[in-house]
Structure 1
């Protein structure tokens, strides 16, 4: 290979002859030697340095995979156990709901309430709707939907039972405060309400109550539930018990031998409140019984002879 050099100032040229192996040498220097260096470096690094993927790495990866598989299996078993437990709880809640419905039906029957507002198992629920176009699109309800439906049903039953409880409580209160019957357990009526001959003066006088005679020391009972507003000595009455029954109705029990209650006590129908005696203006053991309506004495006979609830 020849290289010609031109000199523009002197106007002559110069030829340089290169050896024939020079191009091959240049090619070797520029291409082959770097390739050989790269291959050699890779070979040295592969032989000398430990590979990134080895049998030990594979074992560690396999161990981690097995551990994760065991954790997934344990989690699956725990989920299945919890699901079975939830299923049992759901079945128990449904059984309790059935018993709750039976109790509700019994309470409605005992209370004698005729109302369509209480649906404690009273037949199938009214339902309807157009026929579905694609029956294959139906999917059974999920477990969560079953729990939500059961929760809604229980809440509805709880509301109904609360209403029923309030109705029964009000009815029971009305029954307890319903004034009826005699204030004694043993004895007889010795003087009626109205005009009579006064046993002390012998003159015609107005008797504001009813007298019940009996054995000295026998029981005097409340004719309705209420609150004791007076218990002690009062002029003319001797030892007196007065009970407020609400709605403007009060009763008085006079001439007692002893008083068994105190002011503020809550008494029920038939509770013993005193013992029959002859204290105060009296001719013998008896109970002077008065019924007051809005603070005025009224005839006790209608209350005495009406049937208890």
Structure 2
């Protein structure tokens, strides 16, 4: 194969004889170069497309991750709010339990129960032999619902205990105003109510109270709770204390050595209100005890021997 080269400037020509390998190399260059370019372009296009696909995939993944992160943050905040609400609810329930324990101890004292019969500082005793186990599917408890149920039970217990406290309080108040018993801690009945011989004149007379003799200076006690309406010295009575108990009942304690209360004082049943003496019209240490009902003197003996209704 010959290749003729023509010089444009001088117009001359030159021929070159190509051998078999030279022809093959020239053919390879003439054909291989375009094919190589095409192949390179194809590869470059494939790489660009793959890069675009990778970029799109990465963008999608990043968007999905951002969405999931936002959702996860929302779930975390919601869980924190629920946990905070449950913590506050639990703290409130613990405070109410503490109040119930205190109320229970107060009711135990009011009811005069034995020590240890109801010990609110200790968990309740429970037990029993090991029983058979149930094969049931375990379900996670709804803590919010359980706390609500527990709160409702606490409401019921609080109402029941408050009602019980009110009943016990009224019972104790009734016991306080229930007029009964003797006006002395120690002593003996020395004169009854009604007609008798006057110890000074020797003539028949009406005795409007009963007398309890005892040791001078011993305690004179209130036979019921009430308000002191009068205290001082009165003719014939000597040093005297008068107590109003409500419902029209008034008691008097006379011939005292010393009065221990003042007008307006609140006194409880069994409280010492005076010391036994012999002031006023008296032959010796004793307390003259009178009971008035709606302003009229009545026999105190029925109240002295009175029992709880």
Normalised by the length of structure 2, the TM-score is 0.59
Q: Which residue of 1 aligns with 2:282?
A: 282
In structure 2, relative to structure 1, the CA distance for the partners of 1:94 and 1:145 (3 Å cut) is farther
In structure 2, relative to structure 1, the CA distance for the partners of 1:234 and 1:91 (3 Å cut) is closer
Q: Deviations over 1:33-67 (max 9, x none)?
A: xxxxxxxxxxxxxxxxxxxxx9xxx8xx89x959x
Q: Deviations over 1:238-260 (max 9, x none)?
A: 11101111111111000101100
Q: Do 2:226 and 2:245's aligned partners in 1 also have CA atoms closer than 8 Å?
A: yes
C-alpha displacement at 1:284, in angstroms?
Answer: 1.1
Aligned residues: 223
C-alpha displacement at 1:191, in angstroms?
Answer: 0.4
In structure 2, relative to structure 1, the CA distance for the partners of 1:237 and 1:107 (3 Å cut) is closer
Find the aligned partners of 1:265 and 1:235 in 2 and give their Cα distance. Answer: 23
Return structure 1 stretches of 4+ with deviation > 6 angstroms.
93-111
In structure 2, relative to structure 1, the CA distance for the partners of 1:297 and 1:140 (3 Å cut) is farther
Q: Do 1:225 and 1:245's aligned partners in 2 also have CA atoms closer than 8 Å?
A: yes
Q: Deviations over 1:247-295 (max 9, x none)?
A: 1111100010110000111111111100111111111111000111111
Find the aligned partners of 1:291 and 1:165 in 2 and give their Cα distance. Answer: 32
Q: Deviations over 1:130-154 (max 9, x none)?
A: xxxxxxxxx9985444333333333
Q: Where do 5+ consecutive residues of structure 1 fail to align?
A: 1-53, 112-138
The 3-state SS of whatever aligns with 2:282 is coil
The 3-state SS of whatever aligns with 2:157 is helix
Residue correspondence of structure 1 range 1-309 to structure 2 within 5 A: 65=66, 75=77, 78=80, 82=84, 85=87, 142-307=142-307
Q: Do 2:86 and 2:144's aligned partners in 1 also have CA atoms closer than 8 Å?
A: no
Q: Where do 5+ consecutive residues of structure 2 fail to align?
A: 1-54, 114-138
Q: Do 2:100 and 2:158's aligned partners in 1 also have CA atoms closer than 8 Å?
A: no
Q: Do 1:90 and 1:147's aligned partners in 2 also have CA atoms closer than 8 Å?
A: no
In structure 2, relative to structure 1, the CA distance for the partners of 1:94 and 1:307 (3 Å cut) is closer
C-alpha displacement at 1:218, in angstroms?
Answer: 1.1
